[in-house]
Structure 1
């Protein structure tokens, strides 16, 4: 998964990137041309426990890629995102829009005043206008093709639906598209098809205050599609904690009343918003987590490991992580009848431990 971190300058965008990746501030390159990119391990406790059970030669956690893009507005100037910026963010799976909610007289907000609702609206509008321009350009072409008698009625109707939604200021990811329509739209790389998470960046003293709670409610009421996508974080203190050892970090988080680190909370949120789950393969050579779309058929999940697994798929031997832990091993689970043989259409579930049987 590729997660793009974006926002205005001085919003704490890069500070959040440092908190999520454990990157020290001095590691950033000045005057970079593209985004800073960092791959982090998804520290799933289930992988750790499976590794303790199997003692494999290799343990492989799932990974996430974070991209820290340059500020949307440069040198405090007002204006929409330019085409080069929009193009650069087109190949990510989800946005994390860092919105400043903390006061700082030393580093004032580039637009003159801290106003989270305004900042969310600006980005929301820019994404919609970007997609609307693509839709309108394509519709012009389709109208010409229709007059020439070409079979474009289905695509025309689909894009007219998209245009109507965008003109009503609705993200395309809020529409209910069938599988065939989603496939048609895939090539357009519409930005509003991607999930958007708003990271409301506050000072540590603002955590849990009525002011921040009311602000969060106001944003969700103004933008219902952000329901369960608002992420309150004190990026500066989380960045400092991320530089500590795991033991010291846990103590500091507890003192602040933070149950989960920013990294863990955002990972869980991204998995949920993107509809991703994890299944596991185990053995003495390797214990590994695999990230797939929720509900992916077993044969397709096998193909994520290797194309031969999908091509020669016979059966999937499946047990849930919980049952495997409870039984203490595969042999014990087999004796209790907890191992299942599933066919190619079986929808893989989060936490499944799978051995694929195949023949090529």
Structure 2
């Protein structure tokens, strides 16, 4: 029986326990190391960061134009809804007055009682006068019937207006939902771009964004180096703007050089690309649509070889960017959040078309 007795288990000795713990920690560290290596994010070169940031900015700008369009439509729907609600309130006030008038007539009839006309004629001391009064009462009855008809018509019209208001409210909510979706898209893309740029040194960021060449405002033009993108335009005499309004738009754009890019902004101190175009022509007395894809259809299309200062130039297949042509192959545009309003060559982006609005 003693041969089958189970031997008592002894706790780990200090050495054995320390050895087991060391092995466990080593295994955990090895596993963590492998896992970290498998998920480590590769280090991007400045060129790769630039490529990704440029893509994110293009995607954000496309979403910005959709946001601008949704905001414009949302504002229109809101104004229509407000007008419908005001009209319903006016019609309701008119209806209430008509109802009160009918109520007064009904109360008077109730007080006078309803007597058969034959008995009234028989009991009348002056039958001729009675007949005259009866004819007047009949005409009054006709007017009362017409008043009832008007009230019914007003009720139908108010219900139609309320139905239109319900439809407009549904449209407004849909526009607002689209607005929020595009806002989330824009902010997400811009946040991702900022995170990528934050990995670079200040010098690398300046090289990637090209922001260093555009520091300062228009008052510093005379001291700029030949690398300044404004210089080629100033050294050569550009073709004149075809009209005074086009010249005024170009002058406005020049006055905004160095202004920050802010998506959804239309000035006077910050702009997105279509916001700058809209503000420049608003200053020239011309109303432009809010979005790039609407602005390209706002005037007469011109070819690249026909460009004159003041023409709007558009880029990318989705018509997601716009600049104001200023001559010599140059434009003024609001590029993206990493660069202010600046002069740039129009061949730095895929050309999509141009239009002349003045």
What is the TM-score with the length of structure 1 in the denominator?
Answer: 0.19
Name the structure with the higher strand share.
Answer: 1
Bigger radius of gyration = 2
What is the TM-score with the length of structure 2 in the denominator?
Answer: 0.19
